[in-house]
Structure 1
């Protein structure tokens, strides 16, 4: 006997949970939604646009690769105060200007470039 849509959906959720998939709810304003829709299509000219979830997942993977590269690059440097390899997570000198924790974290934050 054929399964109902509710039964198929329940099985799908069970498979996803078993695979470790997590569901996120994302709230976007109209401008962000327009950007998402436009870029899903612009990234695949002449082809079917990316699905929004696929596009967001790819952006996360792309950012992770950039972050890994950045961490590898800055880890060759040392904090000006304590001498620990960067990035320093916590330091008793964090309030002093020479400590990377004070302002150095700006190197790792997300930035919007024009």
Structure 2
């Protein structure tokens, strides 16, 4: 690599670091088995459709964004509703105090907000 290419690459990297700092982007480390890494690579490839595969950072950020949207929709559906047992507002209700009782939100809907 000649000196001009090296300088250009260094400048691109510097600008990338500045953008990430401005957006307060932090690195998160995740431990994955070989099977999970293969699944992730396949998901990145297939979910991109005819475009270039998503990179791992992009794919995980998209998953987080979509799950957050889904959670907000689920919470909006619960807004104003109360638990059948304790009559407390959902989704917190009794906080699980009556979990196991048939009419408790945490018993009948425990999978509703779980992944």
Measured after TM superposition, the shift of residue 50 of structure 1 is 0.8
Query: Runs of 5+ in structure 2 lacking a partner?
Result: 1-6
Let me know the Cα RMSD of the aligned residues: 2.9
In the aligned structure 2, how far is the partner of 1:44 from the partner of 1:19? 25
Query: Given the superposition, is the C-alpha separation of residues 92 and 105 from structure 1 closer, same or farther in structure 2, using an over 3 Å criterion?
Result: closer
8 Å CA contact 1:94, 1:102 repeated in 2:
no
Match of 2:97 in 1: 94
Quote the residue 2:26 is aligned against. Answer: 22
Question: CA 1:87–1:23 in 2, change beyond 3 Å: closer, same or farther?
Answer: same
Q: TM-score, normalised by structure 2?
A: 0.72
TM-score, with normalisation over the residues of structure 1? 0.72
Match of 1:109 among 95, 111, 114: 114
The aligned residue for residue 43 of structure 1 is 47
Does 39-48 or 20-29 show the bigger shift? Answer: 39-48
Are the equivalent residues in 2 in contact too, given 1:41–1:50 (CA < 8 A)? yes
Tell me, yes or no, if the aligned pair for 2:85 and 2:98 is still in contact at 8 Å.
no
Distance 2:48 2:30 in 1: 23
Between 52-61 and 78-87, report the one with greater CA deviation: 78-87
Instruction: Give the Cα separation in 1 of the matches to 2:96 and 2:77.
Output: 23
Structure 1's 71 and 4: CA in aligned 2 closer, same or farther, altered over 3 A?
Answer: closer
Match of 1:75 in 2: 79
What is the CA-CA distance between 1:94 and the residue it aligns to? 1.2
